[in-house]
Structure 1
Amino acid sequence: MDSPPRLVATDLDGTLVRQDRAVSARTADVLAQITAEGTPVVLVTGRPVRWLAQVYDQLHAPLPAICANGAVVYDPDTDQVLRADPLAPDLLTEVARRLRAAVPDAVFAVEVDDGRRLRHDAGWPVRWDAADPTIRVFDSPDDLAALPAVKLLVRASERDPDAFLAIVSEALGDVAEATHSSYSGLAEISAAGVTKAAGLAWFCERHGIDPREVLAFGDMPNDVPMLTWAGRAVAVANAHPAVREIADDVTLSNDDDGVAAYLEKLFVSH
């Protein structure tokens, strides 16, 4: 990238957001300065739409977001989903059938209503968001495929995430996309062809921005398609080895405001 980027894309958890779920004042200030000077910043995350408020509350202004690993493009100014590419009910049925055969102890959850609601098996571990009214248990096992889902989540006890993803990917073949962004046995499944790269490409094409003009930050395997697609890929220091391997550059960790530090140097130097 020989000139300043025309667009900055960044992952959230593990990249922009610190381990305590905070966005630092430094980071918020840098993003506000960049956008005020005319360079759009897009949040590209595995999070559902309903989890964006936690980040927006810490920024000077909400930023456009590509959620659910590329399945949802969201405009916070109008609270509208501009594009959604969910798993259809028949595909959810087939994916669940394959995974139950390959992983008998698997439990499932689905992000429905463009990621505004979560439905899950009774055995699904609901943790810090247990009181969230948008989350509830399936009324019956058939509820898993009752509605299109922008993401299917599957867990099976505590497993090595890379090894578990390999099992899931082998079971699915080419019928759906599987990735992970977790340090436990959690796989994230999207419709075939749906990745962070695909969602960001749709957004950039809409705004006349070439991939070579995009600077992207990430930390986990679900970021690899986006980082490979972008003109410059930057890994944070705490990134998964698969991300560091394909990155063009490495910045400080998320807890050390690596994204902000990199952007400060880049934009100040120009």
Structure 2
Amino acid sequence: MIIPPRAPATSRVSLLVSDIDGTLINGNKELTPATLAAAARLREAGIRLCLVSSRSVRGMQMYLQQIGNDTPSAGLNGGEIVDAAGEVLETQSLDAEAARLTVETLTTNHVDAWAFTGREWLIRDIAAPYVPRERRAVQFDPTVVSSFEPYIDRIGKIMGATNDYPLLERMEIELQAMLGDRVNSRRSSPWYLDVTHPKANKGRAARRLAALLDVDPSEVACIGDMDNDISMLSTAALAIAMGNAPEQVAESAHFITGTNDQDGWAQAVETLILPRAAR
């Protein structure tokens, strides 16, 4: 399905910047054989692959290893950027007062608030409903703290978690309106809200990754599925939304591929990326 684009899609691709959850991996948090084969074909065609995620880079490691990563990556929606060896190149932390107000607002509205400081995942309630789900996803344990205050000046992301999806959508809008250009407030799933530094967005991350690899922006493709992917899709030379993406995300793309449970990522690589290989 072709979406009328704001500008024509590029005919040359040298770099694919990809989201992970809901995009690269399926609903069981797995890289399928088709996806691994497609990633190998990208490498053979000379197209670089960079992963960018709302996860911390620590929580991306299992997938970076499986695809044989040899490029920079971005975690926390661009709040941390590392080289291929995992060395930190840059970080963006929320200002302390914005972090406090975010935690206070989420807590007042009965949304669980978590904090990420790069390698640390901080929580105040080990029994919170989404903790087991996140532990399985990132494959490391949270640190339980009584308060985020000792970490308040080095928080890269505050995540709100709740099964009240309409409430979380409202929190996304309200926090952005309340804190303005001090934060970037975007949902990474129907049940997770990410609040990061304003420079920590996937659009900027995609541009930084391209610059690190000396790839012209006109040869960058991006693929994603959620609201926090819109910033990179809306500026990509070739933008692809997953079939499981909500309408507002699909509208930011040139093309829509299959869902993440239909090997949509591999389909996009085979039909949209590889035919445009710049080499």
TM-score interval, normalised by the smaller of the two chains: 0.7 to 0.9
Distance in 1 (CA, whole Å) between partners of 2:139 and 2:259 is: 30
Give the number of equivalent residue pairs. Answer: 263
Moved more, 187-196 or 200-209: 200-209
| 8 Å contact kept, 2:102–2:175 | no
- 1:171 lines up with 2:178 in the alignment: yes
**How far off its partner does 1:86 sit?**
1.5
Unaligned stretches of 5+ residues in structure 1: none
Aligned twin of 2:61: 53
In structure 2, what is the equivalent of residue 118 of structure 1?
A: 121
In structure 2, relative to structure 1, the CA distance for the partners of 1:240 and 1:144 (3 Å cut) is farther
Q: 1:247 to 1:142 in 2, by over 3 A?
A: same
The answer to whether the 8 Å contact 1:56/1:63 transfers is no
Measured against aligned partners, the alpha-carbon deviations of 1:58-101 in whole angstroms (never above 9, x if no partner) come to: 3244653211111111224x22121111113344234435555x
TM-score (norm 1): 0.87
1:151 equivalent to 2:157? Answer yes
What CA distance in whole angstroms lies between the structure 2 residues aligned with 1:269 and 1:141? 47
Instruction: After TM superposition, give the deviation of residue 49 of structure 1 in Å.
Output: 1.3
**Residue in structure 2 matched with residue 44 of structure 1 by the alignment:** 52
Q: Indicate if the aligned counterparts of 1:120 and 1:144 stay in contact, CA closer than 8 A.
A: no
Q: 1:258: which partner in 2?
A: 264
Q: In structure 1, which of residues 24, 41, 59 is the aligned counterpart of residue 32 of structure 2?
A: 24
**Greater relative CO, 1 or 2 (CA 8 Å, sep 6+):** 2
Q: Deviations over 1:228-262 (max 9, x none)?
A: 11111111111111111121111111111112112
Per the TM alignment, residue 11 of structure 1 is displaced from its structure 2 partner at its CA by 0.7
Q: Over residues 131-173 of structure 1, what are the superposed CA-to-partner deviations in whole Å (9 max), with x where a residue is unaligned?
A: 966511113353451x401111123562324333223323323
Cα distance between partner residues in 2 of 1:214 and 1:65: 15
Measure, in 2, the Cα distance between the counterparts of 1:5 and 1:157: 39
CA–CA separation in structure 2 for the residues paired with 1:50 and 1:213: 28
> For the structure 1 residues 253 and 89, does the alpha-carbon distance in structure 2 shift closer, same or farther, using more than 3 Å as the test?
same
> What displacement does 1:45 show?
1.1
Inter-partner Cα distance in structure 2 for 1:245 and 1:36: 31
Which residue matches 2:20? 12
| Partner SS, residue 83 of structure 1 | strand
| Counterpart residue type for residue 262 of structure 1 | A
8 Å CA contact 1:168, 1:187 repeated in 2? no
Residue number in structure 2 paired with 1:244:
250
Q: Does 1:109 align with 2:117?
A: no
Contact 1:111 1:150 in 2 (8 A): yes
Q: Identify the match of residue 79 of structure 1 among 67, 71, 86.
A: 86
1:14 Cα shift?
Answer: 0.6
The 2-side partners of 1:21 and 1:134 are apart by: 17
Equivalent pair of 2:13/2:276 in contact (CA under 8 Å): no
Q: Structure 1 pair 73/241, CA: closer, same or farther in 2 (3 Å)?
A: same
Letter in 1 for 2:210: C
Cα pair 1:11 1:45 within 8 Å, conserved: yes
2:4 aligned residue: none
TM-score normalized by the length of structure 2: 0.84
Q: Percent identity?
A: 24
